[in-house]
């Protein structure tokens, strides 16, 4: 039974790769929080806190059409979401109370719901075109699919690319929100089409995500093709 449980943990908790700009500081904070958090602060509670953050983001973005100051609520939501999402699984691992399949399933499903609500929220603001927000969401979800497939193939859960991970992504949203609040709407015209500077920011992000996806997929296919070259099929000889 013990070996079976250990095998289950290994399958559901593959090697995590998280080489990011803020990774060191984030890890130190998580270990500090685990030491001071009372026992009643459970991983499920932190997951709930993260989802409160998600709904705060959506509400803040939607209400920014009424007044840009509501973007402060969205930014606070990103903090709550980071706090809950970064500590729930780590708290379970540090306390050795993991539920491997439950945690993996719940975490990634809620992450998908969170990003759906975030990008729809961005499109609901008066600053970013909804189509641009949704295409950026598509690019982000494609990267998620790559990460999950790559995890199953190589047993390595890659959380970071180009020294950027989920925490840096949330920080970029907060910076964009702050610029929206203080600078307001700023439009530019490119090739005869008017964009807001925030449209251009998300377009650049979308292109970067598409590039990450296709470059990593092509590299992965080439690597696996070399490791598993095609086999020649030999038709069984018919018996006389």
Give the strand pairing for 187-190 and 193-196. Answer: antiparallel
More confident call, 57 vs 91: 57
Domain spanning 2-224: which superfamily? CDP-alcohol phosphotransferase transmembrane (TM) domain (1.20.120.1760)
pLDDT at 8 over 50: no
pTM: 0.86
pLDDT, residue 31, reads 86
d(CA 175, CA 85) in angstroms, rounded, equals 20
pLDDT at 229 over 80: yes
pLDDT, residue 81, reads 96
pLDDT, residue 153, reads 87
Confidence of residue 6 (pLDDT cuts 50, 70, 90): very low
pLDDT, residue 182, reads 95
pLDDT at 106 over 60: yes
Four-residue CA torsion sign, 30, 34, 37, 43: positive
pLDDT, residue 158, reads 76
Residues paired with 158 in a beta bridge = 17
d(CA 44, CA 84) in angstroms, rounded, equals 9
């Amino acid at each position: 039974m013990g070996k079976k449980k250990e095998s289950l943990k290994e399958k559901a908790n593959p090697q995590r790769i998280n080489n990011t700009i803020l990774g060191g500081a984030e890890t130190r904070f998580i270990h500090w929080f685990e030491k001071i958090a009372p026992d009643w602060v459970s991983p499920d509670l932190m997951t709930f806190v993260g989802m409160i953050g998600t709904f705060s983001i959506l509400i803040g973005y939607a209400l920014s059409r009424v007044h840009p100051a509501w973007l402060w609520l969205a930014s606070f939501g990103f903090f709550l979401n980071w706090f809950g999402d970064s500590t729930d699984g780590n708290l379970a691992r540090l306390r050795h109370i993991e539920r491997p399949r439950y945690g993996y399933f719940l975490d990634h499903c809620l992450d998908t719901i969170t990003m759906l609500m975030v990008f729809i929220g961005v499109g609901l603001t008066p600053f970013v075109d909804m189509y641009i927000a949704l295409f950026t969401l598509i690019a982000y979800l494609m990267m998620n699919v790559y990460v999950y497939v790559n995890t199953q193939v190589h047993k390595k859960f890659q959380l970071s690319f180009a020294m950027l991970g989920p925490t840096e992504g949330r920080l970029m949203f907060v910076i964009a929100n702050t610029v929206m609040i203080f600078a307001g709407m700023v439009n530019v015209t490119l090739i005869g089409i008017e964009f807001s500077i925030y449209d251009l920011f998300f377009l650049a992000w979308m292109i970067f995500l598409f590039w990450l996806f296709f470059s990593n997929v092509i590299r992965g296919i080439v690597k696996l093709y070399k490791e598993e070259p095609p086999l020649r099929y030999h038709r069984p000889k018919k018996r006389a």
